[in-house]
Structure 1
Amino acid sequence: MHHRSSMLARAVRFATLAALAAPASTLAGGFSLNEQSASAMGTANAGAAANPENATTVLFNPAGMSQLSGTNISFGAAVLDIDAEAKEAEARRNLPGQSPIMADGSLGGDIAGPAVLPNFYMTHEVNESIDVGFGIHAPYGLAADYDDDFVGRFFADETELTAIAFTPSISVNNGNGLSMGAGINLIYAEGRLTRYQDLAAQVYPNAFAAAIGQGASPAQADRAARQAVSGYQDPYADIEGDDIGATFRVGFLYELSDKTQIGLSAQTGTELDLKGNATISDFPVPGVPGQTTTLSEKVRVPLAIPESATFGIRHNLSNQVTLLAGATYAKWSRFEELDIVSREANGQITAAPQEGAILSHVTEKWQNTWQFNLGGIWQATPEWALKAGYAWDESPVDEYLTARIPSSDRHWLTLGAQWKDAQSGWTLDAAVGTLLFTDDPAFTERNYQHSNPDEVADLAPGVEDPSYFKGKYELSAWSASIEVSKSF
C-alpha cells in the first residue's frame, strides 16, 4: 500500500470500515455496507430507491433529486459493533507423507471491533428540470484481526478493505411524474492481507535427517522433528495495495399516482487492481541456521465489484402511514477467487522468470444474492415520525467458506425516529439495527489449485488429506446511525 499524506488518504482512513471474516456478516451481502443513511436505515433501506426524503437519494437513486427543492445537505455517521468469534477450531499443518501435525494455538478471539462510517450528501436544484448532487460515503469495507496465536494463523490473520466513494450525480424530470438520474462512483480502495507461513514441510525433514545423523532411532527422530516444527518461528506474510476505480449508476423514478411511486436504480460493476507490495519477514536464510531475512516483491490483488440493481416502491396508506418495500440483486459471482499476483520478474518471493506468477490463491466462487426489504413510517405528529424495517440478506459465500470470510444469511431488524422542523428546514434522524443469523457457519477450508480450484492441491503423491482449517463461528452484530439534514 502506498503511504499517502494527501487529504484523500486521510479521508479514507477516517472512513475505517467493518468486517471481512465474520464481519462480512454485517454487510449487505459480500463486502457492501448497509449503513449509508440513518433515514433509510430506520426502515432497513426498504423502498429507498422510491423514497427521496433528503440528499441521501444521491446514493440510493439519483433520479430522486428531482423531488427535492432548493439546496439540501445531509451528513452523519453509523457505528457498527460486531461480535465474531470461533467457538470451535482446529488446523492441520502441511506435512506431506507423514502422520499429521495439528497446529497449536487459540480460537483467535473476537476478530472484529467497532467501526465508524461517516457520510455526506448534497443536492442543488438548477432549474425546474435539472438537479445536481454529490456524495461522499463508504460503500465497501472489510476488517478482521485474529490473535497472533490463532490456531488457523496459516490460513488467515488480518484482513482489511477500506473504500470511499465520491459520487457526482445529475437528474432530469419531464414534469409529468417521470425522473431520470445518473451518477459516477469514483472509488478509492486500499486493502491488506496477512497470515503466517507454514514451513513444517521444510523443517520436519531437515530436523528428522539431523536426528538420524546423530544416531537417533526413527521414532526418536520423529519426536525430535515434531518438536522442531512446534518450536519454529513462523515467517509472516504481509500484502498491502491500493487502487482507484469507477462504477456508474442510473436511476428512474415514476409517480404512479399521488399516493404511490416506484423507483429503479442500477449500478455497473468493475474490477479494482490493488497494487502494492508483499513482504515476508522472519524468513529463514537457506543454509544458515537461526538467521532470518525479509523478502519483498511488488504484487497486485484483483478485486471484483459487482453489478447490482435495486427496485423500490412507496405507498402512502394515509396521511400518517407510509409503506415501503424493495429488493436488490447483486452479481457477486464476479468474485471467483482471491489471488495475490506478482508484478515483477525474478522477485525475491516467487523467483519466477516473468511477472504474473501467483503467490497465493484462495477459491471464493461467490453466488449472486438477493436482499428483500419491508418498512413503514408513522407520522405521529407534524414534527415526529417513527420508523421500523426488516430485511432478509442473502450471503454470497456458499461452498467455499474461509477463515477470512465465515458468513451466513441474516435477518436485519431496525427502528428509527425522525424529528423535522418545517420552518427552519432542519431534520434529525436516528436509527438502530440488529442482525440475526440463520445459522452459525461451520466449514473446512483447504488448499486449492489455481488451475482447478475444485480439487484439493496435490501436496505429494498419495496424500489424500493435506493441511486444512476447520472452524465453527458465532456471529452477532448491532448498529446505530445518526443523520442531520438541512434544506435551504
Structure 2
Amino acid sequence: MHMRPPLLARAIRLTTLAVMTAPATALAGGFSLNEQSASAMGVANAGVAANPENATTVLFNPAGMSQLSGTNMSFGAAVLDIDAKSKQDSISVTRKNPSVPVQPATDGGDIADPAVLPNFYLTHELNDNVDVGFGIHAPYGLAADYDNDFAGRFFADKTELTAIAFTPSISVSNGQGLSMGAGLNIMYAEGRLSRYQDLSDDAGAAAVVLPEPYADIEGDDVGVTFRVGFLYELSESTQFGLTAQTGTELELKGDAEISDVPVPPTYAQTTTLNEKVTVPLAIPESITFGARHRLTDEVTVLAGATYARWSRFEELDIISREANGEITRSSEPGTYITHITERWKNTWQFNLGGIWQASPQWAFKAGYAWDESPVDQYVTARIPSEDRHWLTLGTQWQDIRNGWTVDAAIGTLIFEDDAEVNDREYTHQNPTEPSSPANYQGTYELSAWSASVQVSKAF
C-alpha cells in the first residue's frame, strides 16, 4: 500500500545503514543534525567553517579542501540518544466532542530511541590550486513514536524523517591565502506521519462506540541544495571562513492509508481507505561564519555562528494527488487532507571551542554551543522543542608517521526549559484559528547525550 523507494535508493540506504533516522524530535535546531563529525563535535562545531582539519571540510566548508594535501579520507559514526517524555500530571486532552473522554490516556512513554548516524568524506588534490571532494552524511532527521494509548494520539503517533545527502564538491585557491569552494547536497529523503482519528463528533453514530481509525502516510523525494564557501588566511595564526547553503522544498510523494474505518449506517463493519498523497517539506537556507586563531603552538581557539531561515517551515500538509480518491472524494487532485500549523522562526546558533595540542600525538578539545529553537507559538506533540546548551569534550590521536588520526567526542544537551505543547486542529484555509474544540496539552522533560568516533587518513 505504501510507496517503495527505487532499487538504487534502497541499495544506497543499505550501504549507509538504514538506522539514520535520528531522534531529533527534541532538538533545538529544527530537524537538522549536528552530529556529523567527531573532530568537529569535540569543539561543539565551533569554527568549522575556518578549521579544515580533515576531509569533513567537504561538509562544513568546501573551500577548506584547498588546505589539505594529497588524498584524505574520514569516516565514522555518532550515537544520539534523546529522552523526551510528557509529565503525566501535566496532560490535558479534549476531543472534538468535549463530552466524550479519552480512554485510556497515558503519557505516551519515551518517544525517542537511540540512533546511529554514519558518515564518510573524501578529498583529493588535483593540482596546486584545485581540489575535489565527496561526502555522504545525514543532514536531517526526525523520529518520534508514542505508545498506542497515548493521550494525544489523535494529534501524533509516529513522526519520521530519514535523509541522506551525497555531496560532490570542488575548491579553488589563488595561492595567496584565499580559497573558494562549492558543492551540491543531493538528498534522498523519506518520511512517515501517523495518528489515530477522532470520530467523537460523528452525530450519525452517537449511540455507537466507534473504533479509532489509524491514518498512516509515507512518501519520499530527491532534492538538491547548493553550498558555497570562502576561506581566508589572514596570517599563519588566524583565518576566517564563510559558507552559505540554499534551501529547497521537498515533495514527499507516497500513499495515505486509513485503516479500521467504520462503515455506515450500522458502523458494525470497518474498511481501509487508500489515496496517493504528497507532503511538502521546506528545507531552510543557512549561512555559517567561522574563525580560528592559534594563541600558541599548543593552544587554538575557535568561534562560529550559524543563521538558519527556518521561517520557510510554515506548515506540514498532507495533500491528495488523486481525483475521486477514497479518502477525499474530491473531483480534482490538490485537496488538503490534513493541515498542521508550524510557523517556525529563523534561528541562531553560536559556538565556542578550544584545542590543546598536548603532544605531537595527542590533542584535547572542549566546546560550547547555544542553539536556538525554531519552534515558536505552535508547539506540537510531533516536535516538542526548546532552546538548548551543548557541552562537548573530545580527544584526538595522530600517528604522524603513517597519517592515521582517530577522534572521539562526547556531548550533553541541557535544555533551558521544559517544552510546553499546546496542540490544536487547524485548516489550510484558516491556519491560526482552531477548527474544533480538540486540544492536547503537555509539559515535556527533555534531555540528551551523544557520542562520536571518527577515523581519518592522509595519503
Which of the five TM-score ranges fits, normalised by the shorter chain? over 0.9
CA distance in 1, matches of 2:33, 2:375: 16
**Which residue of structure 2 lines up, in the alignment, with residue 263 of structure 1?**
241
CA distance in 2, matches of 1:245, 1:302: 12
**Which residue of structure 2 lines up, in the alignment, with residue 467 of structure 1?**
438
**Map 1:257-336 → 2, pairs under 5 A:** 257-336=235-314
CA distance in 2, matches of 1:83, 1:183: 35
Aligned-pair distance for 1:82? 1.1
- Return 5+ residue gaps in structure 2 as ranges: none
**Which residue of structure 2 lines up, in the alignment, with residue 164 of structure 1?**
164
1:30 maps to 2:30 = yes
CA distance in 2, matches of 1:167, 1:79: 22
Specify the code of the residue in structure 1 equivalent to 2:144: A
CA distance in 1, matches of 2:352, 2:368: 5
Judge conservation of contact 2:76–2:454 (CA < 8 Å) in 1.
yes
Aligned-pair distance for 1:167? 0.2
Aligned-pair distance for 1:9? 3.6
Aligned-pair distance for 1:161? 0.1
- Aligned residue pairs, count: 453
- Return 5+ residue gaps in structure 1 as ranges: 209-227, 460-465
Aligned-pair distance for 1:25? 2.5
Q: Report SS of the residue matched to 2:373.
A: coil
**Which residue of structure 1 lines up, in the alignment, with residue 180 of structure 2?**
180
Judge conservation of contact 1:90–1:103 (CA < 8 Å) in 2.
no
CA RMSD between the two structures: 1.3
**Which residue of structure 2 lines up, in the alignment, with residue 112 of structure 1?**
112
Judge conservation of contact 2:373–2:387 (CA < 8 Å) in 1.
yes
Q: TM-score scaled by structure 2?
A: 0.96
Match of 1:90 among 89, 92, 98: 92
CA shift digits 1:316-359 (9 cap, x unpaired) = 00000000000000000000000000001110000011000000
Judge conservation of contact 1:139–1:165 (CA < 8 Å) in 2.
yes
**Map 1:32-431 → 2, pairs under 5 A:** 32-87=32-87, 88-95=90-97, 99=99, 101-202=101-202, 205-208=204-207, 228-229=208-209, 232-431=210-409
Specify the code of the residue in structure 1 equivalent to 2:30: G
Aligned-pair distance for 1:258? 1.0
Aligned-pair distance for 1:8? 2.0
Aligned-pair distance for 1:233? 2.0
CA distance in 1, matches of 2:289, 2:371: 15
1:476 maps to 2:447 = yes
Q: Report SS of the residue matched to 2:26.
A: helix
Q: Note closer, same or farther for the CA distance 1:14–1:395 as it changes in structure 2 (3 Å cut).
A: same
Judge conservation of contact 1:197–1:234 (CA < 8 Å) in 2.
yes
Judge conservation of contact 1:90–1:102 (CA < 8 Å) in 2.
no
Aligned-pair distance for 1:116? 0.3
**Aligned residues with identical type, % of pairs:** 69
Q: TM-score scaled by structure 1?
A: 0.91
Aligned-pair distance for 1:368? 0.2
Judge conservation of contact 2:421–2:444 (CA < 8 Å) in 1.
no
CA distance in 1, matches of 2:443, 2:103: 16
CA distance in 2, matches of 1:112, 1:238: 19
CA shift digits 1:403-455 (9 cap, x unpaired) = 00110000000000000011100000000000000000113211112122111
Specify the code of the residue in structure 1 equivalent to 2:159: T
Specify the code of the residue in structure 1 equivalent to 2:26: S
**Which residue of structure 2 lines up, in the alignment, with residue 445 of structure 1?**
423
Judge conservation of contact 1:92–1:103 (CA < 8 Å) in 2.
no
Judge conservation of contact 1:15–1:138 (CA < 8 Å) in 2.
no
Specify the code of the residue in structure 2 equivalent to 1:317: L
Judge conservation of contact 2:82–2:447 (CA < 8 Å) in 1.
yes
